[in-house]
Homo-oligomer: A and B are copies of this chain.
């Protein structure tokens, strides 16, 4: 089963730099927009994780810039859950320009679980195992 979500982002004037490109750091925000939408859609939002006793800090990100985006571009940010063994959250991201489907950006992110006291959790927390089961994720 593929879990996926897409958000629509209009490039802000202030996100475009002096060479008329979206500054590369803003894509981290677009990734977060998609991730928050996904987590809301599938019941894995920040408050649910927090109330289960955990945080899910970012551990690793890989980003690839394929084509520039610029003022007034509308971007479609698609996030897909990647099935992995182990206690981590891995997402893949694809950003395309809405008007002509141009590939703009791809990325992946990995989050680990830590307890609210700050201890790294190496095995899958109960809430995460349940979430996988509810969404028919095999392992």
Contacts and interface: CB of A to CB of B under 8 A. Distances in A.
Interface residues of A, number: 35
Interface of A: 10, 12-14, 16-21, 23-25, 28-29, 32-33, 36, 45-47, 55, 57-65, 68, 71-72, 118
Q: How many copies does the complex hold?
A: 4
Contact of A28 (B25, B33, B47): B25
A61 B62 contact: yes
Chain A interface, >50% SS class: mixed
A47 B73 CA distance: 13
Given A18-B16, A36-B12, A71-B18, A58 B24 contact: yes
Given A57-B68, A59-B64, A71-B46, A23 B33 contact: no
